A and B are shown apart, each in its own frame.
Chain A
């Protein structure tokens, strides 16, 4: 009996909090028919928002991976002053509200900030354009890869790396042939989570993008804009795109979780 109640509650909760809203997005988006949905989705400003979102994710992703691997490697393998501080610093983007992050970036990199101001005379503008969006996206997503890779790196491979060293492998060969294969899946997993977050980020991007129509609108910003314009069909149609992107990352995540555990036991 208890079991049934528990399962029932879980299903009810999932239905009310997860399934219903997602279903509502789809049903509202198609309320005026598939033609209206298509018209809204293929609208120039919406397409531009999709393009900007994807470009941002594609720039942020490799930077995230490189930074994540370097930081995780340094923290796992070396004892240096500031190591603990680095560990805590990496967590900050999770703890800080994205809107505050956006404001901080504006303060530092904006036209009146120390760095933004210094670059101003050279005509370099960091905020209210793609650069600004990329910078804050990097900020909010930088913990993901580190946090996935670090635990794997800490428990595996130090002896393997030493063995490779005594066998004459160079630093790069050790990384390429010994360390990297051990952390590939953790890295991909972290990268997917980071991408999902980068695509969906609203608060931080809203502050630094300047919300220039048809130019610096990412998909989440565009959705809010359309909604505020009472263009409900347009807003929900764009939302289906964002949801689809998120679902793709979720499916990838599921696939990796399915492949990964089988790998250790019977390769």
Chain B
């Protein structure tokens, strides 16, 4: 799956938040959108997910225009900053949700849904937690459940909105590694939004540094560190 972001622009009440943003994400690639708050990175992620409609520009998935495709039909897995787990459902019910709400022929049988949940619980190493409720889990566990729920629908793209920001430093470190490992095992293109450069450099193949709704520089960690193209990139990385 290749995602082409072509000249996306978005304004809120006359204030531009995204200005002519273009970017290509290759199959299986892990890209981090990095930037200070207000740089437009979360808006860009929401445009990709379909939760926000751009004013201008197009989104192409393997060449097919998905700009007008509703969020629910894009089949992009999204992990929210707050995890947004369904509080009145068990872990297993949370993970199965995306399969349960399908209709007609697309809806897997109960047995197949259960099997998929088991598989994902094993993937996040939480086999015995299926019957727990979100309130009974630690922050790190909730984050992993949110990840499993997003992966349950066999997403074509994984979108992560500051998934570690609510965790303490130690858990954050270990989860970074496991998210990267999970992503590689599933082999899915992923986009991570973060304001933490150490996090971006630790997990992403490429880092997209944003500022004021524009892309400042795209490159690997060493590109940005050793060959910054603008003063802003140099200052941001040095800081």
Contact = CB atoms under 8 A, between A and B. Distances in A.
Contact of B98 (A168, A181, A182, A267): A168
A81 interface: no
B135 A177 contact: no
Which among B50, B71, B73, B74 has the greatest number of chain A C-beta atoms within 10 A?
A: B71
A177 to B, nearest CB: 7
Contact of A167 (B135, B136, B153): B153
Interface in A209-267: 264-267
A166 interface: yes
B102 A168 contact: yes
A173 B101 contact: yes
Given A162-B51, A177-B101, A169 B80 contact: no
B75 interface: yes
B84 A163 contact: yes
A97 interface: no
B49 interface: yes
B51 to A, nearest CB: 6
Contacts of B101: 164, 167-170, 173, 177
B75 A168 contact: yes
A32 interface: no
Which among A178, A264, A266 has the greatest number of chain B C-beta atoms within 10 A?
A: A178
A165 to B, nearest CB: 5
A169 B149 CA distance: 13
Given A177-B101, A264-B135, A166 B51 contact: yes
Contact of B97 (A159, A170, A177, A182): A177
Contact of B80 (A156, A162, A168, A177): A162
B16 interface: no
Contacts of A267: 88, 133, 135
Interface residues of B, number: 28
Contacts of B78: 162-163, 166
Nearest to A158: B84
B76 interface: yes
Secondary structure call for the A interface? helix
A267 B88 CA distance: 8
B77 interface: yes
A73 B50 CA distance: 21
B51 A169 contact: no
A182 B88 contact: yes
A160 B50 contact: no
B72 interface: yes
Contacts of A166: 49-51, 71-72, 74, 76-78, 150
B86 interface: yes
Interface string B86-119: 1110000000011001100000000000000000
B82 interface: yes
A177 B87 CA distance: 11
Interface in B209-235: none
A2 to B, nearest CB: 40
17 contacts: A160-B84, A163-B78, A163-B80, A163-B85, A163-B86, A164-B86, A165-B51, A165-B71, A166-B76, A167-B153, A168-B101, A168-B153, A169-B97, A177-B97, A178-B86, A181-B88, A266-B136
Interface of B: 49-51, 71-78, 80, 82, 84-88, 97-98, 101-102, 133, 135-136, 149-150, 153
